[in-house]
Amino acid sequence: MPTKKTNQKIKNLNILLGVSGGIAAYKVVDLASKLTAAGAGVKTVMTDAACELVGPKSFEAVTCSTVFTSLWDTPGEYEIDHIALVGWADIVIVAPATANIIGKIANGICDDLLSTLLCAASPLIESGATLLAPAMNDNMWNNPAVQRNIKTVKKMGFQLTGPETGRLACGTEGIGRMSEPKGILEAIEKIASKIKHKKK
């Protein structure tokens, strides 16, 4: 049974879910819900652009956890969030990963909470516990700067799932669709198996 298998692999892991401003952000609410149902602890960090596309309350409701949207506002107890969140996480995912956030990661740019915590996540990146699910228009994906950044983030140690070829939000067909939540879940399960193996 797929659900049981998922529960065993992901249960009790702390998953930090970064959501950047791609139109596929609405699908990631479903992913957050599936991860939570599988027994993972899920904390969500959203960029300003992501908040324009999906309300933080949706993630808050499905994960039963506070959503982090700012480097400067620290919800709850005082902590330096970008460090505390990375310390808490077993796995960090960014879905959808925009051309912009991929560019920031590749170039060490830290100008909001998500990009800053990703820069602080070096141990997780090196151990293969970070996953990006790129999603963008095909012309953006094929842009040489984006391709250069993709090569860089892979070389740094980020795992990637997708993008897929198919119908894009702009109405055209091409490469750039975010992997479906099921595919992202499978990629997380693969990472989780390795991590749980190491944790033993």
Ligand X SMILES: Cc1cc2nc3c(=O)[nH]c(=O)nc-3n(C[C@H](O)[C@H](O)[C@H](O)COP(=O)(O)O)c2cc1C
Q: Cβ closer to ligand X: 135 or 187?
A: 135
Shortest gap between Cβ of 97 and ligand X (angstroms)?
Answer: 8
Q: Any long-range contacts for 150-157 (C-beta under 8 Å, 24+ apart)? A: 150/102, 150/106, 152/106, 152/107, 153/102, 153/105, 153/106, 156/105, 156/106, 156/125, 157/125, 157/126, 157/127, 157/128, 157/130
Task: Work out the number of other CB atoms within 10 angstroms of the CB of residue 170.
Answer: 12
According to CB under 6 A, which residues from 35 to 54 bind ligand X? 47, 49-50
Shortest gap between Cβ of 146 and ligand X (angstroms)?
Answer: 8
170 catalytically annotated? yes
Question: According to CB under 6 A, which one of 99, 133, 150, 187 is a site residue for ligand X?
Answer: 99
Strand 173-177 versus strand 164-167 pairing type: antiparallel
Q: State yes or no: residue 23 binds ligand X (CB under 6 A).
A: yes
Q: State yes or no: residue 175 binds ligand X (CB under 6 A).
A: no
Question: Do 192 and 13 touch, CB atoms closer than 8 A?
Answer: yes
Question: According to CB under 6 A, which one of 16, 54, 105, 136 is a site residue for ligand X?
Answer: 136
Catalytic residue IDs: 170
Residues that bind ligand X (CB under 6 A): 20-24, 47, 49-50, 96, 98-101, 135-136, 140
